[in-house]
Amino acid sequence: MEKLRQRWGLTSNFQVILIIIVFSINGSFAAWVAKPLTEFIGLAKETTNPWIFWPIRIGLIFVIYQFTLPLVGFCFGQFKFFKAFSKKTLSRMGFKFLFKQDA
């Protein structure tokens, strides 16, 4: 736990536990939200080729996960950490245009 505290720049083990909880809750939440979205765009597991369905579903879950992470983190009082985490991840994926550039 000490290595995570140092790596993430946290001040207590309680913060590490909260952050791990947020990661796990948000993963389930993103998968839950992705199901109706895949149905909305017309993809059903039963009628779509698995080679098409699963990459789209996993990609959707990943994008939803990144955008909802700060929201779920806010509910646990860790918004600042998760905003920076999501910004870093999305920037690495090529979504730098979403963030205001520092002058």
Q: In whole angstroms, give the CA distance from residue 75 to residue 60.
A: 23
pLDDT tens for each residue of 49-81: 999 999 999 999 998 998 899 999 999 999 999
Model confidence at 103: pLDDT above 70: no
Model confidence at 10: pLDDT above 90: no
Q: Is there a domain that residue 24 lies in?
A: yes
Q: Is there a domain that residue 103 lies in?
A: no
pLDDT at 9: 87
Q: Is there a domain that residue 90 lies in?
A: yes
Q: In whole angstroms, give the CA distance from residue 93 to residue 70.
A: 17
Q: Is there a domain that residue 53 lies in?
A: yes
Query: What is the domain extent for residue 82?
Result: 2-98
Residues 72, 29 contacting (CB under 8 angstroms): yes
Residues 68, 26 contacting (CB under 8 angstroms): yes
Q: Is there a domain that residue 21 lies in?
A: yes
Query: Could you give the number of structural domains in the chain?
Result: 1
Q: Is there a domain that residue 81 lies in?
A: yes
